[in-house]
């Protein structure tokens, strides 16, 4: 069990990246199911408008703070999270573990060509993994035939890159019928693996300005980025309510 930190009703596990990997390894060793959510302020704000979605992510086995805004919010509540756990970095660590253990990995999401390039690059970097299958993200998430096909592939690990809320909704459906497996929503990570999107330089990641780097590279993200100040305002309002 981990210590939970409540951020606007979303329950975050207070773990470091290393601790998150250790928890995942425990589940893999036991051949148990595991649902990992990497939540940023945008996801928290969406969850606060959609109770069904909030219930789904709060049913996860592990929810980490994929966004410095969440860490800042935890400090405002005087319940500081240990650190940001970037979804891409956690995915990379899990790929490394999967390669060492020669696990079966399924990749679901992104455009067909993006997916193909991403999986090729991942397989090159982590030759020990067995690709259990791949499917682009342009599918009906309610298609039970596709769900059955993934279940029958019997992956040990599945990465779902459909963006929220679709990826978390699909994962909860999948894990309700799968016999085992670690499932994690990874947003736009396949785009990075396909070399179609570049992550910020390491020094920018270190000073927690990766969000600003993304905005400079893609100004169309400004609408989505506005959730960050709205998130901070919502946190401060909730803090005042708790203290009154």
**pLDDT tens digits, 62-71:** 999 998 899 9
The residue with greater pLDDT, 227 or 9, is 9
Q: Which residues, 6+ apart, have CB-to-CB distance to 29 below 8 Å?
A: none
Is the per-residue pLDDT at 224 higher than 80?
no
C-alpha 209/C-alpha 222 separation (Å) is: 15
Structure tokens at 123: 């397989």
**pLDDT band for position 210 (cuts 50, 70, 90):** low
Dihedral angle computed from the Cα positions of residues 216, 83, 17 and 106, in that order, rounded to the nearest 10 degrees: -50
**pLDDT band for position 199 (cuts 50, 70, 90):** low
Q: Residue 134 forms beta bridges with which residues?
A: 107
The residue with greater pLDDT, 75 or 213, is 75
C-alpha 123/C-alpha 104 separation (Å) is: 12
Q: pLDDT at position 67, please? A: 86
Structure tokens at 205: 């990641």
Is the per-residue pLDDT at 219 higher than 70?
no
Q: pLDDT at position 211, please? A: 60
Q: pLDDT at position 22, please? A: 96
Q: Which residues, 6+ apart, have CB-to-CB distance to 61 below 8 Å?
A: 23, 27, 33, 34, 35, 36
Of all residues in the chain, what percent carry a pLDDT higher than 90?
76
> Which of 110-124, 143-157, 185-199 is modeled with the greatest confidence?
110-124
Is the N-terminal amide bond of 165 cis, ω within 30° of 0?
yes
C-alpha 28/C-alpha 81 separation (Å) is: 25
Q: pLDDT at position 220, please? A: 62
Is the per-residue pLDDT at 200 higher than 60?
no
Q: Over the chain, what is the mean pLDDT?
A: 90
Give the C-alpha distances (Å, rounded to integers) separating 13 from 10, 144, 211: 10, 31, 22
Q: pLDDT at position 244, please? A: 77
Q: What is the mean pLDDT of residues 133-160?
A: 91
Is the per-residue pLDDT at 50 higher than 90?
yes
Please, what are the domains in the chain?
4-199 (3.40.50.2300)
Residue whose C-alpha is closest to residue 134's, from 157, 165, 164, 100: 157
Is the per-residue pLDDT at 222 higher than 60?
no
Q: Which residues, 6+ apart, have CB-to-CB distance to 242 below 8 Å?
A: 77
Q: What is the mean pLDDT of residues 139-150?
A: 86
Q: pLDDT at position 90, please? A: 97
Q: 126 exposed, middle or buried (CB, 10 Å; 0-12, 13-18, 19+)?
A: middle
Structure tokens at 175: 């894990």
């Amino acid at each position: 069990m981990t210590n939970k930190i409540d951020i606007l009703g979303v329950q975050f596990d207070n773990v470091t990246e290393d601790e998150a990997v250790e928890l995942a390894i425990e589940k893999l060793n036991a051949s148990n199911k595991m649902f990992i959510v990497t939540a940023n302020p945008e996801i928290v704000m969406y969850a606060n408008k959609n109770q069904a979605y909030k219930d789904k992510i709060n049913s996860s086995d592990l929810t980490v703070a994929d966004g410095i805004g969440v860490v800042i919010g935890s400090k405002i509540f005087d319940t500081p999270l240990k650190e940001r756990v970037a979804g891409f970095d956690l995915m990379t660590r899990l790929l490394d573990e999967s390669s060492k253990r020669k696990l079966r990995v399924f990749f679901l999401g992104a455009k067909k060509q993006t997916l193909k390039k991403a999986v090729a690059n991942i397989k090159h970097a982590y030759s020990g993994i067995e690709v259990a299958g791949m499917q682009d993200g342009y599918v009906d998430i309610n298609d039970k035939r596709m769900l059955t096909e993934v279940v029958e592939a019997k992956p040990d690990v599945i990465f779902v890159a459909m963006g929220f809320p679709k990826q978390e909704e699909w994962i909860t459906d999948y894990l309700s019928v799968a016999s085992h497996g670690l499932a994690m929503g990874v947003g736009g990570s396949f785009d990075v693996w396909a070399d179609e999107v570049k992550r910020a330089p390491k020094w920018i990641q270190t000073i927690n300005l990766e969000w600003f780097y993304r905005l400079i590279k893609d100004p169309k993200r400004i609408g989505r980025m506005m959730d960050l100040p709205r998130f901070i305002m919502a946190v401060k309002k909730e803090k005042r309510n708790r203290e009154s």
